């Protein structure tokens, strides 16, 4: 992939807050912080020109049936992060080249050039694991997962986290993964239906589909594949030993 124009202008001084930044070739920067998520969610929920009363009343827009807050009404928590991107993304498509910059809580910057739908995969994970009332029960399994990782890297880290947090008990880990996949699949399908009422951008839809693909990678036989990968991997391009005579 060609390096984007935005990528060559990166400076750590421009990224003071812990956040995910999506930088687009035209120098547009979308900043995803908790404050931005809350401000934009409130703006969209309260403005009838952003979300119509018909959309709010639609069955697809309601909280999931197994959500602990499904009797309270109001805005589904899982969709809140999406509103930070809707207006900006009206001009872009899934395969738009972007640069993502992620600053974590340890003052470390990670950066990668990718496509819009890949950058938004982190948004979909954020929606389903940290905002969704059901998905957030799995938050600890996402420890150490960063938005620049590939789908296979995320699946591997997830599997190892499940195994570790189940004390190395493979059956208990597999049972938890099965329930996790079922819950996330249900949430993802409902989230896509919900977003169809407020946004038609394909980047969002593809991002949520890609996030679900991560759970599908953790299918039967994944442990055996991971074991083979560990056995076959070797350090690349290590220098030869220095022989002193």
Question: How confident is the model over 65-90, as a mean pLDDT?
Answer: 83
Answer whether residue 172 is part of any domain. Answer: yes
pLDDT for position 4: 40
Task: Show the domain range for 84.
Answer: 6-230
- Evaluate whether residue 106 is within a structural domain: yes
Average pLDDT in the chain: 82
Name the band, by pLDDT with cuts 50, 70 and 90, for residue 6.
very low
Nearest Cα residue to 153 out of 53, 226, 60: 226
Q: Is the pLDDT of residue 36 over 90?
A: no
Do residues 57 and 77 lie in contact, with contact meaning Cβ atoms separated by under 8 Å? no
Give the number of C-alpha atoms closer than 13 A to the C-alpha of residue 71, restricted to the C-beta side.
1
**Domain membership flag for residue 121:** yes
Enumerate residues 6+ apart whose C-beta is below 8 A from 222: 155, 159
Q: Is 1 domain-assigned?
A: no
Give which of 154, 158, 147, 153 is closest to 113, Cα–Cα.
Answer: 147
DSSP result, 140-160: GGGTT--TTS-HHHHHHHHHH
pLDDT band at 5 (very low <50, low <70, confident <90, very high): very low
Asked if residues 149 and 110 have their Cβ atoms less than 8 Å apart, the reply is: no
Residue 242 in any domain: the answer is: no
Q: Residue 129 and residue 144: Cα distance in Å, rounded?
A: 14
Kindly state whether residue 223 falls inside one of the protein's structural domains.
yes
How many folded domains does the chain comprise?
1
Question: How many CB atoms are closer than 10 A to CB 9?
Answer: 11
Q: Are residues 174 and 233 in contact, defined by beta-carbon separation less than 8 angstroms? A: no
Q: In what order do the strands lie in the sheet with 29-32?
A: 29-32, 20-24, 97-103, 109-115
Question: Would the pTM count as exceeding 0.85?
Answer: no
- What pLDDT is attached to residue 237? 66
Is residue 127 scored above 90 in pLDDT?
A: no
The pLDDT assigned to 161 comes to 94
Residue 8 has pLDDT above 60, yes or no: no
pLDDT for res 15:
81
Longest CA–CA span in the chain (Å) reads 83
* Position 224 in a domain: yes
- Are the C-beta atoms of 85 and 31 separated by less than 8 Å? no
Does 245 fall in a domain? Answer: no
pLDDT (average), residues 63-69: 90
């Amino acid at each position: 992939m060609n390096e984007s124009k935005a990528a060559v202008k990166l400076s750590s001084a421009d990224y003071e807050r812990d956040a995910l930044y999506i930088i687009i070739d035209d120098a547009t920067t979308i900043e995803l912080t908790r404050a931005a998520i809350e401000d934009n969610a409130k703006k969209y929920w309260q403005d009838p020109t952003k979300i119509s009363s018909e959309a709010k009343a639609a069955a697809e827009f309601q909280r999931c049936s197994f959500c602990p807050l499904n009797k309270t009404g109001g805005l589904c928590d899982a969709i809140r992060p999406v509103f930070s991107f809707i207006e900006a993304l009206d001009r872009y498509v899934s395969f738009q080249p972007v640069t993502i910059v992620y600053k974590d809580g340890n003052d470390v910057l990670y950066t990668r050039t990718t496509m819009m739908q890949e950058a938004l995969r982190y948004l979909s994970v954020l929606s389903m694991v940290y905002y969704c009332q059901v998905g957030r029960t799995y938050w600890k399994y996402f420890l150490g997962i960063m938005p620049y990782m590939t789908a296979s890297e995320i699946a591997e880290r997830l599997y190892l986290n499940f195994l570790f947090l189940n004390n190395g008990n493979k059956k208990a880990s597999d049972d938890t993964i099965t329930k996790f996949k079922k819950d996330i699949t249900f949430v993802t399908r409902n989230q896509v239906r919900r977003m169809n009422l407020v946004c038609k951008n394909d980047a969002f839809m593809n991002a949520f589909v890609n996030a679900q693909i991560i759970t599908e990678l953790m299918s039967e036989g994944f442990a055996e594949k991971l074991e083979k990968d560990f056995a076959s991997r070797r350090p690349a391009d290590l220098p030869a030993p220095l022989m002193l005579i």
